[in-house]
Amino acid sequence: MVIEIEDLCKAYKNVQAVDGLSFRVSEGELFAFLGVNGAGKSTTINIISGILPKDSGVVKVCGEDIETRAQSVKSKVGVVFQNSVLDKRLTVRDNLECRAALYGIYGKRYRQRLEEMDSLLGLSDILKRPLVKLSGGQRRRADIARALIHDPELLILDEPTTGLDPQTRQTVWRVIEQLRTKQGLTVFLTTHYMEEASVADHVIILHGGRKAAEGTPHELKTLYAKDTLRVYSHLDEIAAYLAERGYGISREKDCIDIQVKGTAEATGLIAARPELFDDYEVLKGDMDSVFLNVTDREITEE
């Protein structure tokens, strides 16, 4: 296991940010850690990366306790923060050189690592430029290079693609995939883009500092996502037919969306009045639906 967390608790004054959280992340896994803002994601990340002390519980990274073996754990973890935290007025090269030295990497070994980062992320055009003069995408490349400069075993990505254009997001994901497949890097991801979470091996949805749902994307979709039957013709008749059966509908300008539990339910509705359903599609529930349903359920329970 790369991460083992048991009954983790952390409070800020009267706010319980993380409340009895337990989970595990296996080696080489892409782990998605989801939750609304304030759910406790950043607090958990800060504890794992050694910035923040925990109140109670056990946190082990690569088999080592984060409190008793902090320095060793830190050398195995790389973090890409939500906002770039490199020195804005220094060049990318200066930034990387300084950060590498903090991991005991300098001289020939540093130059070798820099070359590897360059071939992976294409840094040569930005190495001599100060961060303040880089575009958002270029800055992100520098952030990732900084997180990987010491060849970590665990890469924590805290909303790495927020605010990036689609092309840069694709580049970031290409690099992450390359690192996972070629080097077996374990990736711990937080994101608000559910399509990114849908390719994860394992997902946890956090709410109010507690685990609200856990599983593979497929398991979560099966449990929490609702399929949509979308029809494009006979809209008034279908609306009346569904109202009779007690269905809630969402009517758009040229279609009606009906939330159904699965394909079987959709088939049942269509089979009962086939003459109405001559232009329709069944849309599978996605991670957006999972996320909304899980967090809505938690809010309702509160």
Partner 1 sequence: MTELRKFWALTLRNIKCYFKDKFLFFVSLITPMILLVLFATFLRTVYIDSFKGILGLFGMEAEERVINGLAGSWLFSSVMSVCSVTVAVCSNAVMIQDKIDGTVNDLRIAPVESATLSLSYFVGNFIVTLIVMLAALAVGFVYLAVVGWYITVTGVLLILADTLCCVLFGTLLAGVVESFISQQGALSAFSSLVSSLYGFICGAYMPLSQFSVGMRNVIGVLPGTYGVGIMRKHFMQGYVEELSRQGLSEEGVKAFMDGFDGNLYVGGRQIPTWAMYTILLGTCAVLLAAYIVIVVCQSRRRTHK
Give 53 or 268: the residue with its C-beta nearer to partner 1: 53
Q: What does the longest C-alpha to C-alpha distance in the chain come to?
A: 76
Long-range contacts of 159-168 (CB under 8 A, 24+ apart): 159/82, 159/190, 159/191, 159/192, 160/80, 160/189, 160/191, 161/191, 161/193, 161/196, 162/82, 162/191, 162/192, 163/136, 164/136, 164/137, 164/140, 165/136, 165/137, 167/137, 168/136, 168/137, 168/140
Instruction: Between 97 and 219, name the residue whose CB sits nearer to partner 1.
Output: 97
Give me the least distance between CB of 295 and partner 1, in Å please. 27
| Least gap, CB of 201 to partner 1 (angstroms) | 24
The distance of closest approach from Cβ of residue 193 to partner 1 in the complex, given in angstroms and rounded to an integer, is 22
Residue 84 buriedness (CB in 10 A; 0-12 / 13-18 / 19+):
middle
In the complex, minimum distance from the CB of residue 46 to partner 1, in angstroms, rounded to a whole number: 8
Q: Residues 69-76: contacts with CB within 8 Å, 24+ apart?
A: 74/49, 74/50, 75/103, 75/150, 75/152, 76/152, 76/153, 76/154
Least distance from partner 1 to the Cβ atom of residue 97, Å? 8
Between 149 and 197, whose beta carbon lies closer to partner 1?
A: 149
Binding positions for partner 1, rule: CB under 8 A: 46, 49-55, 67, 70-72, 74-75, 77, 79, 81, 83, 85-90, 94, 97-99, 101-104, 106, 130, 146
Of 29 and 143, the one with the shorter C-beta distance to partner 1 is: 143
Question: Between residues 30 and 155, which has the closer beta carbon with respect to partner 1?
Answer: 155
Could you tell me what percentage of the chain is helix, strand and coil, using 3-state DSSP and rounding each to the nearest 5? 40, 25, 35
Q: Count, in order, helices (H) and strands (E) of the chain.
A: 11, 14
CB nearer to partner 1: give 100 or 213. 100
Query: Least CB distance from residue 187 to partner 1, whole Å?
Result: 16
**d(C-alpha 23, C-alpha 25), whole Å:** 7
Distance in angstroms (rounded) separating the CA atoms of residues 269 and 231: 12
**Least distance to partner 1, CB of residue 200, Å:** 23
Cβ proximity to partner 1: between 98 and 240 the closer is 98
